[in-house]
Chains A and B, each alone.
Chain A
Amino acid sequence: MTAIDPTAHLTAEQIEELGRELDAIRDEVIADRGEKDAAYIRKVISAQRKLELASRGVLLFSIFPPAWLLGTAGLSVAKIMDNMEIGHNILHGQWDWMRDPKIHSTTWEWDHVSPAEQWKHSHNELHHTYTNVIGKDNDLGYGIMRVDEDQKWHPFHLGQPLWNFINACFFEYGIAAYDLELAKNLHKRRRRNPEFRARAKAVGRKIRKQVLKDYVIHPLLSGPSFLTTLAATFTANLVRNIWTHSVIMCGHFPEGVQVFERQSVKGETRGQWYLRQMMGSANISGSRAMHFMTGNLSHQIEHHLFPDLPSNRYAEVAVKVRALFEKYELEYVTGPLPKQVFSAWHKVFRLSLPNKKPKVKTPAREKEFAAA
């Protein structure tokens, strides 16, 4: 966090006006949501299933290098689609309005070792409500890293570039552990907590199923291509993990993104909540294909403002949101993927060391909120 609060120039009244303008943007999309959107998500789901089937089909012959390449590429894309544009967004309830029990946040399950139910709690409830609040939003460094000067340094953080790399490679397991709050719950007394045990069991079941499918059944079905298919599914999972990890790092870690003190969110108004989402998120710029492959999380700012709007609408919403940033003289943090990934990694390296100068606490915004 910078010592200068980038929202200090806004009065309480302006912040509420900003909130009303954002509400209006949301209402507009909701009033217009309909058949085309429903057709969109159904098309994406159908395409993903066909791609996955075809890729796994091709991989049955993965002993031939061209088949391996094609199948692995296809399966990687299919897994990314499943997790990002489809799974993440359905689990947000973005498509609940369709009332189709097959495409609903309460029934959906994804190709991921963290069960949907647990991920929804840690992601939708904790991360999206307490975005970038130190001590409340565990997404800030996932509990293993320090991604802001205001987070306390510990010698453990010296290794954080390595932790982050390992986390990227096995990101789905990282997420599952994170959803279980494993670090916190592994203490002796908590480990016996029946609620934790039930959740850990659910994760175990999910991991077993996923591993069985990817590393046993599919390779076995491939017969002579057993080993090459095994390598292919491993690679596809790796590609998916690194890709999703990179995209998600770009959402909240790049330079320019703000974090907040616990105190500052007490009694937060709607406008203040919106403002925190605006300042706490960063976008990725790029082509339509890039937006699609990130599950439209490249529109992270818009997603955080309106987590339940259908993802195919973020692009049009972004134009209006960006205009509001300009109107209220706020910095819209965005950039191409390589730049943002570099920026986030740079921070991970930089903050693995203690702060150079004494940090400045209590941003101006916090004081102002307290007075408002």
Chain B
Amino acid sequence: MVTTPLLPSDYLDLVSPLRAGADLRGRIEAVHPETGDAATVVIRPGRGWRGHTAGQYMRIGVDVDGRRLWRAYSITSPTDRQDGRITITVKAIPDGKVSNHLVHRATPGTLIQLDQPTGDFVLPHAKPAKVLYLTAGSGITPVMGMLRDTEFDDVVMVHCAPQPQDVIFRNELHDLVADKNLRLTEVHTDTDGRLDIARLGELVPDWAERETWACGPAGLLDAAEEHWTEHGVQERLHTERFRPRIVVAGDGGEVTFSATGKTVGADGATPLLDVGEEAGVLMPSGCRMGICFGCVTPLKAGAVRDLRTGEITEAEPGVLIQTCVSAAAGPCDIER
């Protein structure tokens, strides 16, 4: 009542954005380069952070060019880190807005939004006798979280990267090898070619007996799942897929109104507002010319094109679109 129409938290956020009870946020405290295109971001999470299990990931919301974008990254710090900070390790991918921002431009002191950690790519309670980590590229990140967290008697790792200097955490891995805590095989795909999963036995003869965690591009994981299934040991294989959102922006497409449960075809020139109304969906509407924002509706999946500018907007949590000036750019899902 004292602060209406604002909430007391709106004022507290000005001075203490990481306090208990606030929306979960974090502050970037440092950015350490790992390779030419990867960096570890050290984050001080807000007081509401519940802690993670090794191997889990979290979603973070970063303001890039003033626009909030959400992405998921594996947590690479151990669960018992003394200073309470957490780290993620990010590899800049071509055209990746968030990854390039974090690797090349993020500065200490920046506030970011966090979600609680999640994911079931984790170690079991009972320690397995023999472990294999099969990773490629930035797929090493959740595994690094595990390696730093839990010691095993017998751990083998097979990691693929284009060249030696592309191997993230290389020094730390080699230290583990020197201390005999890890047996490591690096596959440098630029010189050695892609890892042929059928010949994994040459690198790790007892692979089938090992509890295996695999993370990397879809091609590697598909091949691994096939290989493990063929040998009847699929229950020993745990995989984590980083699903890069592949939205092929097209011209028109199938529009789903998921709240109403209707699906209709739409061309690339008809506003989604008209498409919805035509299909009998109760659509909020206003000026019908893109100025009043009375029609904004969540875009759950897919992509839409702004009929005025041609700009493509892709679905992300929290993305609202003006249906009166947006048309389907490929299949999409509108929450109405």
Interface residues of A (CB under 8 A from B): 23, 27, 30, 33-39, 46, 49-50, 53, 92-93, 96-102, 104-106, 109-111, 120-121, 124-125, 128-129, 206, 209-210, 212-213, 217-218, 221, 273, 307-308
Contact = CB atoms under 8 A, between A and B. Distances in A.
B308 interface: yes
A99 B10 contact: no
Given A121-B286, A308-B291, A50 B5 contact: no
B294 A120 contact: yes
Contacts of A209: 1, 4-5
13 contacts: A38-B66, A46-B14, A53-B11, A102-B10, A120-B293, A128-B291, A129-B286, A206-B5, A209-B5, A213-B1, A213-B3, A308-B290, A308-B293
Contacts of B2: 213, 217-218, 221
Contacts of B65: 34-35
Given A36-B66, A209-B4, A121 B14 contact: no
B67 A99 contact: yes
B287 interface: yes
Contact of B291 (A109, A217, A307): A307
Contact of B289 (A39, A49, A273): A273
Interface string B65-76: 111110000000
B119 interface: no
A34 B67 CA distance: 7
Contacts of A34: 65-67
A91 to B, nearest CB: 8
B308 A23 contact: yes
Interface in B249-293: 286-287, 289-293
B94 to A, nearest CB: 21
Contacts of B66: 33-39, 97-98
Given A96-B296, A98-B68, A213-B4, A38 B63 contact: yes
A97 B296 contact: no
B296 A106 contact: yes
Given A49-B11, A307-B292, A308-B293, 19 more contacts: A23-B308, A30-B311, A35-B65, A38-B66, A50-B14, A97-B66, A98-B67, A99-B67, A100-B68, A105-B296, A124-B287, A124-B294, A125-B287, A125-B292, A128-B291, A206-B5, A212-B1, A213-B1, A273-B289
Contacts of B200: none
Interface of B: 1-6, 10-11, 14, 63, 65-69, 286-287, 289-294, 296, 308-309, 311, 316, 318-320
B305 to A, nearest CB: 14
A27 B318 CA distance: 24
Nearest to B64: A35
A124 B292 contact: yes
Given A36-B66, A125-B287, A217 B292 contact: no
B268 to A, nearest CB: 19
Nearest to B295: A125
B291 to A, nearest CB: 5
A251 to B, nearest CB: 16
A129 B63 contact: no
A38 B6 CA distance: 20
Nearest to A34: B65
Given A50-B14, A124-B292, A128-B291, A101 B318 contact: yes
Contact of B287 (A102, A111, A129): A129
Q: Would you list the 5 A-B pairs with minimal beta carbon distance, nearest first?
A: A38-B66, A93-B293, A124-B292, A109-B5, A34-B65
Contact of B4 (A50, A124, A210): A210
Contacts of B11: 49, 53
Contacts of A37: 66
A124 B2 CA distance: 29
B63 A124 contact: no
Nearest to B311: A30
B10 A49 contact: yes
B286 A125 contact: yes
A121 B318 CA distance: 22
Which of B6, B289, B293, B319 has the largest number of chain A CB atoms within 10 A? B293
A205 B286 CA distance: 25
A156 B319 CA distance: 49
Contacts of A218: 2
Given A99-B318, A210-B4, A27 B292 contact: no
Nearest to B13: A102
A80 to B, nearest CB: 16
B67 A124 contact: no
Nearest to A268: B289
B6 to A, nearest CB: 8
Contacts of A128: 287, 291-292
Contacts of B291: 124, 128-129, 307-308
A30 B293 contact: no
Nearest to B309: A27
Which of A27, A99, A221 has the largest number of chain B CB atoms within 10 A? A99
Which of B68, B290, B291, B318 has the largest number of chain A CB atoms within 10 A? B291
Nearest to A103: B68
A123 to B, nearest CB: 8
